[in-house]
Chains A and B, each alone.
Chain A
Amino acid sequence: MITRRAFFAAVGGGLAVWIVDTADAQESGGGARRGMNQAPPSDVSAWIHIDEAGAVTVYTGKVEVGQNARTSLTAAVAEELRAPVDSIRMVMGDTALTPFDQGTFGSQTTPRMWPQIRKAAATARDMLADLAAKKWNVDPSQVSIAAGKATVNGWSATFGELTHGQKLLRTIPSSEGLTPAAEWKIAGTSVEKVNGRDIVTGAHQYPYDIHRPGMLFGKVLYPPQFGARLISVDTSAAERIPGVIVVRDTFRLPREGAGADLVGVVAPDPDTAEKALAALQAKWQPVEGQPSSKDVFAYYRKNARAGGGRGGRGQVTPETPPSNPNLVPYTVAYIAHTPLEPRAAVAEFSPDGKLTVWTGTQRPFGVRSELAQDLGIPEEDVHVFMPDTGSGYGGKHNGDAAVEAARLAKAAGKPVKRNWTREEEMTWAYFRPGGLIEVFGKTDSQGKLLEWEFHNYNSGPSALNTPYDIGGPKIEQMHETRSPLRQGSYRGLAGTANHFVRESYMDELARALKLDPLEFRLKNISNDRLRNVLQAAADKFGWQSRRKTAGSGFGLAAGTEKGSYVAACAEVSVANGLVKVVRVVQAFECGAVVNPEHLRNQIDGAIAMGLGGALFERIEFADGKIATNRLSKYRVPRFADMPKIETVLLDRKDIPSAGAGETPIMAVAPAIGNAIFDATGQRIRSLPMVPGNKLPSGQAAAE
């Protein structure tokens, strides 16, 4: 447990507030959580410090990957502390300075960390008022804090004049009240990206850019095929290259598909490291009979584990495989996050054996733990720092590059940089899972849903449960199975897959009933928030007045996940099997809007990313090898793919803010798919829908 004394020894005097996240404490079961190299009291999740010169610094284990958490958290402090945005420094994702945090994922920064940081700032403001009241011998209620100053009766003091010579600490729970959203002055406005200038000038140092004195460059040998085992390696040619060190060892934490053998090279420059890697002569034991991207869906079903299912809220009988002969199968391909900055790390040991690693990860504390385990050293001797990173999208949860850099640095006795190439990123990072999903629904003649059955093999349980009212039996089940590829988190997890299937199938039902897809949905929704986004998107789009011309089509889709609600309307044009998404209107509601411009930016980005997965992104693999391991082979959305995007933000100041980085991706694919059906009469039940740039049958627009 960190003491007040140790804290001030580390950060200097002044005023501090520690914030305790009670919900987090319950969830994590009080596991090891440390910061400042010592365990803080119980469950401190963030702290704010105002030093003796008045500088405001906030410490949180959350990280910045482009989602603008740095800006939204800064705005939270500015709002409650009544201080200018540019007077606040945010220290993020640094295991030596910030309190423990499980990671930046699951749209949790806004609903969880954001209110805690506001509370810490509000408490700091109260403490400043107390100091001012004491200084001027007035009641604290008379003190006004604004624009970074305390004033009363014509007296005025800067924060530094109040905190000078102090060592004040308060620990507060995060559950107390905050400024209501309706009274926000800075939060809720479009505060500009706080470090935008560093980005447009190239000054910001990303993990890939970190340079340390005496640093060497490392490469690691990977198998030619998933699961292939190293039989032998001749390192003599590599060792003859001047300056090259060859490292042969074993990882304590074996890497999925790549095993435990560590064969690495370290060289004074990246080109020499590349040459040394190429000079290694390895023999491998291949693994036969691995499934390919073509037969993987049958593989999922074959390997589904009886009793391995996780149900949703509906009634489930996990031991019984689905027997409904009317189930309609859909499939979803593996896709790659493709963060434009690949994985990167620099590792450096101090003379007394302490390790510092700079790396891009959504889980700096998790990576610290991986490093400690793989190197067999205490967590206290490992410092992980995450500079703001070139995106993640759920794809940077682990510490592969960090562990490799650390192992090579240890062997070389020098700092080592281990930057992954694009090909490594697209082969050895993990993928968004593929999936097989089967669905069936039944309605009465009026279009009220009576039955619902939904089975997901492999892709995941997020947003598995239908938000529609089902009058009768409901089965919703996730079936655990085996994946031939390494898979993991992705923006919205399986929310995209499950929404694609549910909302495409809802369209199928509406068509069978000859009902308008909007009307059919509204008949079956009692949730007002879902109804509101659907109506808002349809109104903005002009759904009721839409007019089909040859080759054009219109589709809509809606859904909810992680406390936010989304609806999208899409217009496509199809000519000779070529699909162009012309226009997307998306309505989104996530409670009180924290930053309208950054929210719109997230929605724009989610629509772009969703469009890629909807139309053409697909990992092709066979025999344990990824065929689409480069950007010349794996198509991601570009300028020319973009539709006209319009967003409608429903700002609900009466509802606590939810996260917004994920849910806006979920309605994109089904809205586009439904529009393709509208244009062509072709129901495409697989993602991506237009691989190879043409509709599967290559047929022209039906009209």
Chain B
Amino acid sequence: MARVTQLDVNGTLHHLDADADRTLLSVLRDDLQLTGTKYGCGEGQCAACTVLIDGQPTKSCLTRVSAAAGRKIVTIEGLAVNGKLHPVQEAFLEADAMQCGWCTPGMILGAVGLLRRTPHPSETEIVSGMNGHICRCGTYSRIVRAIQTAAAKGGRA
């Protein structure tokens, strides 16, 4: 059975031994203990499991680990640089754009990807760009505000 033995996560090459068919989500959480990436549904409906692969927001629950091998993966743990929060992380705190926070890592990485594609999104573009993400606590309007704030501050990674 094909195995994946190396994974580039947050700028570090991790050595592991995982069945190539396993999900990236499971390998990140259970093998590398990078539990900031969350499970919410396992079918790509909630986007809590979003990570960046070569800069693109990607649902790790639908991604086989073999498809991520050899590419640059960024998880929520790797977004802040030397303890300095990414502008999107700061904006989420400022806007109080969370309650329980389970969706927050995926939201933040989704927003980072959105701002990379569309540095100054309109509200409509934020809503359509983020509509694949679920916040069951219902902090949507605050998340929109956080993304607007990050955009205004030039929130590109």
Contact = CB atoms under 8 A, between A and B. Distances in A.
Interface in A378-402: 388-391, 393
B99 A196 contact: no
B138 interface: yes
B155 interface: no
B12 interface: no
B85 A202 contact: no
A193 B98 contact: yes
B120 interface: no
A608 B126 CA distance: 18
Contacts of B39: 208, 342, 419
A210 B58 CA distance: 24
B30 A270 contact: yes
Interface string A403-420: 000000000000000010
Given A271-B22, A341-B38, A391 B98 contact: no
Contact of A391 (B76, B102, B128): B102
A302 interface: no
B40 interface: yes
A200 B92 contact: yes
A640 B125 CA distance: 11
A559 B19 CA distance: 56
Interface stretch (A176-184, A315-323, A631-639, A652-660): A631-639
Interface string A48-81: 0000000000000000011110000000000000
B128 A66 contact: no
B43 A645 contact: no
Interface stretch (A232-240, A500-508, A521-529, A597-605): A597-605
B96 interface: yes
A703 B136 CA distance: 35
A190 B39 CA distance: 31
Interface in A327-358: 338-342
A209 interface: yes
Interface in B26-77: 26, 29-31, 33-43, 45-46, 48, 75-77
A608 B98 contact: no
A200 B136 contact: no
Given A203-B36, A639-B133, A341 B139 contact: no
A202 B98 contact: no
Contacts of A270: 26, 30
Contacts of A203: 36, 77
A341 B135 CA distance: 11
Q: Which of B33, B41, B138 has the most CB of A within 10 A?
A: B138
B79 interface: yes
A512 B46 CA distance: 44
A68 to B, nearest CB: 7
A196 B45 CA distance: 25
A478 interface: no
Contacts of A642: 127, 140-141
B100 A390 contact: yes
Q: Output the residue of A197, A202, A217, A421 with the most chain B CB within 10 A.
A: A202
A496 B103 CA distance: 25
Given A200-B104, A211-B33, A390-B101, A339 B92 contact: no
A214 to B, nearest CB: 14
A390 B77 CA distance: 18
B130 interface: yes
A630 B99 CA distance: 23
Nearest to A422: B41
A201 B76 contact: yes
A434 B143 CA distance: 32
Given A193-B96, A202-B36, A607-B138, A630 B102 contact: no
A421 B98 CA distance: 23
Contact of A202 (B46, B75, B92, B138): B75
Given A201-B89, A204-B101, A630 B41 contact: yes
A139 interface: no
User: Which of A65, A68, A391 gathers the greatest number of chain B CB atoms within 10 Å?
Assistant: A391
B136 A338 contact: yes
Contact of B140 (A68, A390, A597, A639): A639
B102 A390 contact: yes
A184 to B, nearest CB: 20
Contacts of B108: 200
Contact of B131 (A200, A631, A638): A638
A607 to B, nearest CB: 7
A109 to B, nearest CB: 14
Nearest to B40: A340
A521 B141 CA distance: 31
A205 interface: yes
A199 interface: yes
A341 B100 contact: yes
Contacts of B38: 206, 208, 340-341, 390
A249 interface: no
B100 A340 contact: yes
A256 interface: no
A606 interface: yes
A271 B126 CA distance: 36
B88 to A, nearest CB: 9
A527 B91 CA distance: 41
B116 interface: no
B113 interface: no
Listed residue (B33, B42, B48, B99) with the most chain A CB atoms within 10 angstroms of its CB:
B99
A441 B124 CA distance: 44
Nearest to B92: A200
Contacts of B43: 422, 630-632
Contacts of A597: 96
Nearest to B128: A640
B76 A340 contact: no
A601 B37 contact: no
A538 interface: no
Given A201-B89, A202-B37, A391-B136, A271 B26 contact: yes
Nearest to B101: A199
A337 to B, nearest CB: 8
Contacts of A197: 85, 93
A68 B99 contact: yes
B131 A192 contact: no
A45 B36 CA distance: 33
A192 B98 CA distance: 11
A269 interface: yes
B99 A67 contact: yes
Contacts of B92: 196, 200
B137 interface: yes
8 contacts: A196-B98, A202-B35, A209-B29, A340-B40, A390-B38, A605-B137, A631-B134, A642-B127
Given A202-B77, A340-B103, 20 more contacts: A66-B98, A192-B96, A196-B96, A196-B98, A197-B93, A199-B101, A200-B104, A201-B77, A206-B38, A269-B31, A271-B26, A339-B136, A340-B135, A605-B99, A605-B139, A609-B138, A638-B131, A638-B140, A639-B131, A645-B141
Q: Which 7 A-B pairs have the closest CB atoms?
A: A202-B36, A608-B138, A66-B100, A390-B102, A202-B76, A209-B35, A66-B99
Interface of B: 19, 22, 26, 29-31, 33-43, 45-46, 48, 75-77, 79-80, 85, 89, 92-93, 96, 98-105, 108, 126-128, 130-131, 133-144
